[in-house]
Amino acid sequence: MPGAVIVGTQWGDEGKGRFTDFVAKECSLVVRYQGGHNAGHTIVADGEVFKLQLVPSGVLYPWVVPVIGNGVVVDPAVLIAELDMLESMGVETGRLRLSGNAHLIMPYHQELDRVTERFLGKNKLGTTKRGIGPAYADKALRVGLRVQDLLDAKIFREKLDLVLREKNGVLAKVYNRLPMSADEIADQYLSMVPRLAPMIDDTVHLVHESLDAGQWVLFEGAQATYLDLDHGTYPFVTSSNPIAGGVCTGAGVGPRAIERIIGVVKAYTTRVGSGPFPTELFEGDVDGDRLVEIGKEYGTNTGRRRRPGWLDGVMVKHAVRLNTCTEIAIAKLDVLSTFDEIKVCVAYEDDSGTRYEHVPYHQSVLHKVRPVYETLPGWRCEIDGAARLEDLPAAARDYVSFVAELVGVPVSFVSVGPGREQTVVLPRAA
């Protein structure tokens, strides 16, 4: 029963999409198990750039069935727009399967995401304003509408009326906003049913059929370990469980179904939105600005500048544990090619001189720690044409080995450019 997971080990945008695309070619299904269109996954295949938010990154191979699992929150209009975009680029999308148990993002979720962020003022989370948090909150409150509700107009309307009464109360009385119309929302959502209905399916059954047939099923994480609702830097997190454990609830498999867990590690660190970031290099720092510029670190989704920093080995080591990663994939190694020296955080220290080699559970401590760096020599030459490990200069290979040793699991892949072909497969994984 081979299941494999691709999971981010930092704060997102590590390069999960490109590695999912790379590994997907050997798989029958690629399944998204959490998150929604807060994700932005970029694939560059044959020079063409595909930016995906909801559709799993396996979609580019005609033999792969892309699956949106029960743990995802779906804005149906965004899904349809994305399918149209893919079709216009020549990608056939009719195979996509959408779980009937996935929850719907509704217009009031997006409105609430916007107004609560405004309400928080300087304490805002910096969400993507896609309605993700409010949609998961309604799921937990048991007032969410699910994809399967679209198939019965009467039930859809009954549930909508019930929940909208409360939402309109909050919008009007707490946030001084205009109430939303149930008629308009129902018309908008039910008009999409003819397009969506053929895709709606029992995705748990599909996943198990594939696993039972001995085919590889790839579970594609969105967001990342430190944006995990339980294990991330709460409250500066997303509202789902991106960690590998999230596959079990978000796709409907037990832990025994999973054989490979590939943690994606960007060769440095970035974060979008608010929250602690021990190795952050603040705007104006020469190295940080270079990482942003060379790495093109602007959000796929919202266009925001990503906050840069050196690789935080303490966090990645803990992420490897939390996810029980069997291996890691290092992304964007080429971005470090012009640096004379490259720093990696191997521990933290606080003002009293206490040294931490693990992530302190108390956030006040995490806010205050300073990174302890080890400095490695750069390689100062282009590596974006490397096809095999041997093509990398010794200093780049040493950097890869250093990271592997630090985090305690082998490296399976290294990427040296955004293109599909710029993926170096390390001998063990070949």
Task: State the Cα–Cα distance between residues 16 and 32, nearest whole angstrom.
Answer: 12
DSSP 6: E
Task: State the Cα–Cα distance between residues 330 and 402, nearest whole angstrom.
Answer: 12
Closest distance to ligand IMO from the beta carbon of 8 (Å): 6
Q: Does 35 bind Mg ion (CB under 5 A)?
A: no
Q: Does 278 bind ligand GDP (CB under 6 A)?
A: no
Q: Does 358 participate in catalysis according to the annotation?
A: no
Report the chain's C-alpha Rg in angstroms: 22
Q: How many residues bind Mg ion (CB under 5 A)?
A: 3
Residue 309 tokens, joined: 């920093």
Cβ pair 241, 249 in contact under 8 A? yes
Closest distance to ligand GDP from the beta carbon of 222 (Å): 7
Q: Does 225 bind ligand IMO (CB under 6 A)?
A: no
Q: Does 138 bind Mg ion (CB under 5 A)?
A: no
Q: What angle do CA 83, 86, 87 make, to 5 degrees?
A: 85
- Identify which of residues 203 and 238 has a Cβ nearer to ligand IMO in the complex: 238
Give the one residue of 3, 40, 221, 371 binding Mg ion; rule: CB under 5 A.
40
**DSSP result, 79-148:** HHHHHHHHHHTT---TT-EEETTSEEP-HHHHHHHHHHHHHHGGG-----SSSHHHHHHHHHHT---BGG
Cβ pair 327, 409 in contact under 8 A? yes
| Unique residue bearing structure tokens 């148990």 | 101
Closest distance to Mg ion from the beta carbon of 360 (Å): 27
Closest distance to Mg ion from the beta carbon of 72 (Å): 15
Task: State the Cα–Cα distance between residues 106 and 425, nearest whole angstrom.
Answer: 42
Q: Does 238 bind ligand IMO (CB under 6 A)?
A: yes
Q: Does 39 bind ligand IMO (CB under 6 A)?
A: yes
Q: Does 138 participate in catalysis according to the annotation?
A: no
- Identify residue 392 by its one-letter amino acid code: L
199 binds, among Mg ion, ligand GDP, ligand IMO, none (CB under 5 to 8 A by kind): none
Q: Does 240 bind ligand GDP (CB under 6 A)?
A: no
Encoded one letter per residue, x for contact with ligand GDP by CB under 6 A and - for no contact, window 297-316 reads ---x----------------
4 binds, among Mg ion, ligand IMO, ligand GDP, none (CB under 5 to 8 A by kind): none
Buried b (16+ CB within 10 A) or exposed e, 155-164: ebbebbeebb
Q: By the criterion CB under 6 A, which residues form the site for ligand GDP? A: 8, 12-18, 40-42, 44, 300, 331-332, 334-335, 415-418, 422
Which residues form the catalytic set?
13, 41
Q: By the criterion CB under 5 A, which residues form the site for Mg ion? A: 13, 40, 300
Q: By the criterion CB under 6 A, which residues form the site for ligand IMO? A: 8, 11-13, 38-41, 125-128, 130, 132-133, 222-224, 227, 236, 238-239, 272-273
